[in-house]
Amino acid sequence: MNLRIRLATITLAIALCSVPSAQAAKLYKWVDDQGNVTYSEKKPPDVKVETIRLRSATLDTTGAQEKLDQLNERAGEQQKDREFAANSAAATAERGARLASNCKIARENMRILGTTSRIQDKDANGEPYFLDDGAIQAKIAATQQQIEANCK
């Protein structure tokens, strides 16, 4: 939103500068009693003056649209960069939280596997059964890999 306001302000300034003034200003030039050259908008009485007509300078707007387009493009690229950085930071934070949660679960599983002599699991039908020593060792090895992967 801030970018839109700035661009609107710049566009308005360019438009106002490019409009020529309707009237040219008049200045009077004369030499005063002390010999100083003086300029004024009001004509002094009883003094020989030189009238100077001033015209407002015209603004060269060639290439202004290209410059404005370049500024818009650069602003768009900067906005995309900011959005990408924000999304990357959010994704990194989310991944870190997920790893911490997985680490906590894996450590708790390892604690249970190490302190309990009989471990119960469920088969594909949902029926409970007890793991034998080989299955327990396999679960310990798998849990150790999970700890190594998630607890950094």
Residue ranges of the chain with pLDDT lower than 70?
1-3, 6-8, 12-13, 15-25
Which residue matches tokens 């008049």? 26
- Is residue 146 a part of any domain in this protein? yes
pLDDT tens track for 119-135: 888 889 999 988 888 88
Q: Look at the alpha carbons of 110, 112, 116, 118 in this order and tell me if their dihedral is positive or negative.
A: negative
Task: Kindly tell me the burial class for residue 150, based on how many C-beta atoms sit within 10 Å of its own C-beta (0-12, 13-18, 19 or more).
Answer: middle
pLDDT at residue 22, rounded to an integer:
42
- Is residue 72 a part of any domain in this protein? no
Q: How many domains does the chain have?
A: 2
pTM over 0.85: no
- Is residue 121 a part of any domain in this protein? yes
- Is residue 17 a part of any domain in this protein? no
- Token pair, residue 46, equals 């009883």
Domain termination site, one of 6, 33, 56: 56
- Is residue 151 a part of any domain in this protein? yes
In sequence order, what are the beta bridge partners of 25? Answer: 54
- Token pair, residue 58, equals 């015209």
- Is residue 41 a part of any domain in this protein? yes
Domain that holds residue 143: 98-152
